[in-house]
């Protein structure tokens, strides 16, 4: 069927306007994508070599701009990931400045095209345009090497980016002591703290046999200063070059006299470059020392002291299968922390969202709480990496803090709650708690349009209230005593105890979950389909043989069926969301996956919305603290639906069927004509006053007499048994079950060895329709 459309002639001026608008639209579409080009030194780690199939003889690199003579600088020119690669026509590299007499030149990079952008967060922003290598041959003095990369494109024109390199020789930490020793001002006295760390003695312990018989010469590339066997590096003053000059060789027998009694006495210069020292992370110190006091020397302080590149640590710690902290970190969410809350005006955000901001806050804040008036001045982006959480110089007193965690100070939550019992997890809680102050104050001030936190006015707990959740604090409780799980009291180091659980190298989730990935799940891909797997190993120490976080515990949602805890929490989230307004301000009864909170919402709606966000943003769907999460949601639902009696049914429902909220027949456990308790009738949506109600399969209920579902009914049980007993450290406990007393006891799961004195809980599904008895036997 044809449709005839009448088109009226348009005025000449309108035609002109349309043409101009069309031209403007075409111009907008044709606008080139910004190149955002950069030139960097790409780190190269042992893990890079194995993952990309590169030669094992290739030298590692921390990606520093201060390197030893002859050390390769793996130059990499990057551009915006949105730029079509086909539009990049040429990338060329040139040395535009170098020391007088230098014969250094640019060569092709040995890094393959299958080795992508290094930093996980940068992979979201950049793509590799070209690579090259420079090996400095002279100390830079007052003329550092400057390399320029010229990037030509068909759509974005041509741009130049530069990178400055300082080259020098290694001196050993003895030289650093002159300025950074015990007599130096407190803010730069680094050496005395470093001397107490494991870095300062790793080589000594190795050749003295303290690390075991596996210690060999292959360990020296990381455990000594400037160990580079390349012929061009023999003038770098590093461990390898010095050992050749002094004639030291790796000992054939690892004994406790190798270092102090033999090596220091006979090969003092080589011994002075043993262990992991300042220059391993900061680069050779010769030019730093040369520039001291020379205010005309360009590039002072000529040392990579401010680098937050993870390559600085991962040039050694990304080395599967035995040094894998960096490898694990690659799989973490910390490695791809969002870059959005950085830059000018984001002073409050960067205190948690970037490495620079967090370190500056911890170093300068007197109260280590998240909400302070202190704001870092460095708002540049750097992912949450090794140096963010660990203080590498050892200034965090390693005798009581062997992992060099940056701070273990008590954490003050937004409502004033002070957390002192989280152990190493207190570092996590520095950021993983509500940014927006106290919950009650947030609701009140947001409605008035006032500031709710140091950065302005924002509703809700923000994105990571996990600390508040596990501590059962800083939410809207309506004056009720809402129960809490014992996780905060029983899990060692709280967050760390679960999220950094040790994963066996034989586990499919190895390097993908636990430890420095901080992940509690991983994905297995078969035939192109990715399946999520919960890493429940640490949970089984207390909860028995569960295979998923979504295991049945209690009928939190009052549906009459005990479902997985995460399912129960999601049901309550959905129920609560139906009682809250949509983006247009109308309570439409629909399930919502996000809330668009407005200042004109009622107090009850704002309070409920805060709790909804609190539970949703926690992200665990009840695993962190199921009683508290479900208690908050049910209290919010009750407050919105008009439940006057704590633990009672909605007033409107009781009035509908019993005429009054004080009628005893309307009590939750009262049984009327339906033959089932009122709470179950309400949950099932049936009348409590109508006889002959059919109970759906899978519903379990019990009267006060102990008869379950009626003495002649067939019972379908969808629940679990939770066995709890007192424990003694080192004792092995075996759960056993039996269907009837007098039969033979059967083991349930494997023996569990107690790691603490206190109590232990084991959660196991019950067996269909059969009765089940349990006992715990122990050895010894």
- What is the pLDDT at residue 298? 59
CA nearest 549: which of 560, 562, 561, 538?
Answer: 538
Percent of the chain's residues with pLDDT above 70: 86
* SS3 labels along 439-479: HHHHHHHHHHCCCCECCECCCCCCCCCHHHHHCCCCCCCCC
**DSSP bridge partners of 4:** none
More confident residue, 306 or 232: 232
Average pLDDT estimate for 24-30:
48
Taking only the tens place, the pLDDT of each residue in 184-222 is: 998 889 999 999 999 999 999 999 999 999 999 999 999
Q: Lowest mean pLDDT: which of 59-73, 554-568, 595-609?
A: 554-568
Q: Could you give the angle at which helices 603-618 and 565-578 cross, rounded to 10 degrees?
A: 150
Predicted confidence band of residue 375 (pLDDT cuts 50, 70, 90): low
**What's the pLDDT band for 28 if we cut at 50, 70, 90?**
very low
- 339-351 burial, b for 16+ CB within 10 Å, e for fewer? bebbeeebbbbbb
Q: Which of 6-20, 119-133, 306-320, 505-519 has the lowest mean pLDDT?
A: 6-20
pLDDT for res 71: 96
Cβ-based neighbours of 689, under 8 Å, separated by 6 or more: 657, 672, 673, 674
Contact, 278 vs 304, CB < 8 A?
no
> pLDDT, tens digit, for every residue of 713-745?
443 333 456 677 888 888 998 888 887 776 688
Pairing of the two strands 411-412 and 418-419: antiparallel
Task: Inform me whether the pLDDT recorded for 438 exceeds 90.
Answer: yes
Question: Which is more confident, 758 or 626?
Answer: 626
Token pair recorded at residue 147: 């390399």
The whole-angstrom separation of Cα 190 and Cα 99 is 31
pLDDT digits (tens, 9 = 90+) for 585-611: 999 889 999 999 999 999 999 999 999
> How far are the Cα atoms of 43, 340, 355, 500 from residue 337, in angstroms, in the given order?
19, 9, 10, 18
Query: Taking Cα atoms as reference points, which of 731, 720, 732, 729 lies closest to residue 762?
Result: 720
Most trustworthy range by pLDDT among 260-264, 479-483, 651-655: 260-264
Backbone angles phi, psi at 183, to 5 degrees: -90, 0
* E strand or H helix at 582: none
Q: Identify which of 394-403, 406-415, 638-647 has the greatest average pLDDT.
A: 406-415
| pLDDT surpasses 90 at 651 | no
Mean pLDDT of the chain, nearest integer: 86
Run of H or E residues at 672: none
Tell me, what's the pLDDT at 545? 84
Segment of 331-345, 479-493, 706-720 carrying the highest mean pLDDT: 479-493
Q: Write down the pLDDT at residue 13.
A: 34
* Residue-wise burial string across 68-93, b where 16 or more C-beta atoms lie within 10 A, e elsewhere: bbbbbbbbbbbbbbebeeeebeebeb
pLDDT in tens, 239-249: 999 999 999 99
Residues 371 and 414 sit within 8 Å (Cβ to Cβ):
yes
For residue 695, what pLDDT is reported?
61
Per-residue pLDDT band for 780 (boundaries 50, 70, 90) equals confident
Contact yes or no for 315/118 (Cβ under 8 A): no
**What's the rounded Cα separation, in Å, for the pair 247 and 277?**
22
- pLDDT-derived band at 83 (thresholds 50, 70, 90) equals very high
pTM of the predicted structure, to 2 decimals: 0.81
| Per-residue pLDDT at 365 | 66
Report the pLDDT value the prediction gives residue 647, as an integer from 0 to 100: 58
Torsional class of 416: left (φ above 0), alpha (ψ -120 to 50), beta (otherwise): left
Query: 340 falls in which pLDDT band (50, 70, 90)?
Result: confident
Helix (H) or strand (E) holding 724: strand 720-727
d(CA 511, CA 260): 38
Nearest-angstrom CA–CA distance, 191 and 185: 12
Q: How confident is the model over 465-477, as pLDDT tens digits?
A: 999 999 999 999 9
> Which pLDDT band, with edges at 50, 70 and 90, does 498 fall under?
very high
3-class secondary structure per residue, 499-562? HCCCCCCCCCCCCCCCHHHCCCEEEEEECCEEEEEECCCCCHHHHCCCCCCCCECCCCCCCCCC
Taking the C-alpha atoms of residue 734 and residue 757, their distance in angstroms, rounded to an integer, is 16
Return the structure tokens found at 163.
């990178």
What's the mean pLDDT in 328-343? 88
Q: Give the 3-state secondary structure of residue 262.
A: helix
Q: Among 23-32, 455-464, 702-711, where is mean pLDDT lowest? A: 702-711
In tens, the pLDDT along 689-720 reads: 988 766 655 454 544 333 333 344 443 333 45
| Pick from 580, 654, 578, 569: nearest CA to 615 | 569
């Amino acid at each position: 069927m044809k449709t005839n459309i009448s088109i009226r002639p348009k005025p000449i001026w309108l035609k002109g306007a349309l043409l101009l608008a069309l031209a403007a639209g075409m111009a907008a579409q044709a606008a080139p994508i910004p190149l955002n080009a950069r030139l960097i030194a790409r780190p190269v780690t042992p893990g890079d070599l194995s993952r990309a199939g590169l030669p094992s003889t290739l030298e590692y690199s921390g990606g520093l701009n201060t390197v030893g003579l002859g050390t390769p600088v793996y130059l990499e020119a990057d551009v915006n990931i949105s730029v079509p690669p086909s539009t990049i026509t040429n990338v060329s590299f040139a040395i535009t400045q170098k020391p007088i007499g230098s014969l250094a030149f640019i060569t092709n990079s040995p890094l393959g095209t299958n080795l992508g952008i290094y930093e996980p967060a940068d992979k979201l922003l950049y793509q590799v345009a070209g690579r090259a290598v420079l090996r400095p041959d002279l100390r830079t003095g007052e003329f550092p090497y400057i390399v320029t990369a010229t990037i030509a494109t068909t759509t974005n024109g041509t741009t130049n980016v530069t990178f400055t390199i300082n080259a020098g020789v290694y001196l050993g930490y003895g030289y650093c002591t002159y300025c950074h020793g015990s007599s130096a001002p407190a803010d730069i006295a680094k050496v005395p703290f470093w001397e107490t760390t494991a870095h300062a003695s790793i080589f000594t312990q190795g050749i003295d046999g303290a690390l075991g018989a596996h210690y060999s010469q292959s360990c020296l590339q990381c455990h000594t200063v400037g160990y580079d066997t390349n012929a061009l590096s023999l003038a770098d003053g590093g461990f390898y070059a010095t050992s050749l000059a002094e004639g030291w060789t790796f000992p054939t027998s690892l004994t406790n006299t190798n270092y102090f009694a033999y090596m220091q006495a006979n090969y003092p210069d080589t011994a002075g470059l043993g262990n992991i020292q300042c220059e391993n992370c900061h680069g050779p110190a010769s030019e730093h020392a040369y520039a001291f006091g020379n205010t005309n020397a360009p590039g002072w302080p000529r040392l990579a002291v401010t680098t937050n590149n993870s390559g600085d640590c991962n040039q050694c710690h990304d080395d599967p299968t035995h040094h894998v902290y960096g490898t694990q970190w690659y799989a973490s969410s910390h490695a791809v922390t969002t870059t959005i809350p950085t830059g000018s005006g984001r002073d409050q955000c960067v205190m948690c969202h970037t490495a620079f901001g967090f370190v500056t806050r911890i170093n300068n804040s007197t109260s280590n709480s998240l909400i302070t008036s202190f704001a870092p001045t460095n708002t540049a982006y750097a992912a949450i990496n090794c140096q963010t959480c660990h203080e590498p110089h050892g200034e965090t007193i390693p005798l009581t803090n062997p992992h060099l965690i940056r701070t273990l100070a008590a954490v003050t939550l937004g409502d004033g709650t002070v957390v002192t019992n989280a152990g190493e997890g207190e570092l996590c809680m520095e950021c993983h708690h509500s940014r927006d102050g106290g919950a009650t104050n947030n609701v009140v001030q947001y409605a008035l349009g006032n500031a709710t936190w140091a950065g302005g006015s924002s509703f809700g707990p923000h994105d990571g209230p996990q600390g508040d959740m596990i501590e059962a604090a800083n939410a809207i409780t309506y004056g009720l005593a809402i129960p809490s799980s014992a996780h905060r009291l029983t899990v060692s180091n709280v967050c760390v105890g679960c999220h950094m659980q040790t994963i066996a190298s034989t586990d499919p989730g190895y390097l993908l979950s636990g430890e420095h990935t901080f992940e509690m799940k991983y994905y297995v891909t078969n035939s192109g389909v990715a399946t999520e797997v919960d890493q429940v190993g640490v949970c089984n120490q207390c909860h028995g043989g569960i295979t998923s976080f979504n295991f049945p515990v209690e009928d939190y949602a009052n549906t009459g069926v005990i479902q997985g805890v995460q399912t129960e929490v999601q049901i309550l989230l959905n129920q609560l969301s139906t009682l809250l307004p949509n983006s247009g301000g109308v309570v439409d009864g629909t399930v919502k996956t996000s809330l668009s909170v407005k200042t004109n919402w009622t107090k009850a709606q704002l309070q409920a919305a805060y709790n909804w966000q609190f539970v949703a943003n926690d992200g665990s769907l009840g695993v962190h603290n199921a009683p508290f999460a479900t208690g908050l949601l049910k209290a919010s639902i009750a407050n919105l639906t008009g439940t006057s009696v704590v633990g009672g049914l909605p007033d409107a429902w009781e009035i509908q069927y019993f005429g009054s909220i004080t009628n005893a027949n309307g009590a939750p456990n009262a049984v009327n004509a339906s033959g089932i308790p009122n709470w179950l009738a309400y949950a099932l949506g049936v009348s409590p006053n109508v006889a002959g109600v059919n109970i759906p399969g899978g519903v379990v209920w019990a009267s006060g007499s102990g008869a379950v579902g009626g003495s002649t009914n067939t019972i379908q049980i969808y629940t679990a048994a939770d066995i709890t007993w007192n424990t003694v450290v080192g004792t092995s406990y075996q759960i056993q079950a039996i269907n009837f007393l007098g039969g033979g006891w059967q083991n349930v799961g494997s023996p569990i060895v107690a790691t603490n004195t206190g109590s232990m809980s084991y959660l196991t599904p019950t067996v269909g329709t059969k009765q089940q008895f349990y006992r715990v036997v122990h050895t010894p």
